[in-house]
Structure 1
Amino acid sequence: MNAPQRDITLRFLAEPQDVNFGGKVHGGAVMKWIDLAAYACAAGWSGRYCVTAYAGGIRFIAPIHVGSLVEVEAKVIYTGNSSMHIALEVNACDPKSLNRRQTTNCIVIMVAVDQNGHPESIPQWKPTTEADKKQNATAVRLMEMRKKIGEEMEIFVD
Structure 2
Amino acid sequence: MLQIYQMSFIVKYLIARDIKHYLGFLFERGYTINEIHYDSRTFGNWWVVLQSSRCVIVVTQDRSELLVSFAPHMSEPKNQIALESMIYFLSEGKTFIGYFDGNLFQEKKRQFERLARLLNGNIDQIEPYFGSNYEKYKSELLNAQRKYNECLLKSSR
Same fold, TM-score > 0.5, yes or no:
no
Output the TM-score relative to the length of structure 2. Answer: 0.26
Return the structure number with greater helix share. Answer: 2
**Relative contact order (alpha carbons < 8 A, sep ≥ 6): 1 or 2 greater?**
1
Output the TM-score relative to the length of structure 1. Answer: 0.26
Bigger radius of gyration? 1
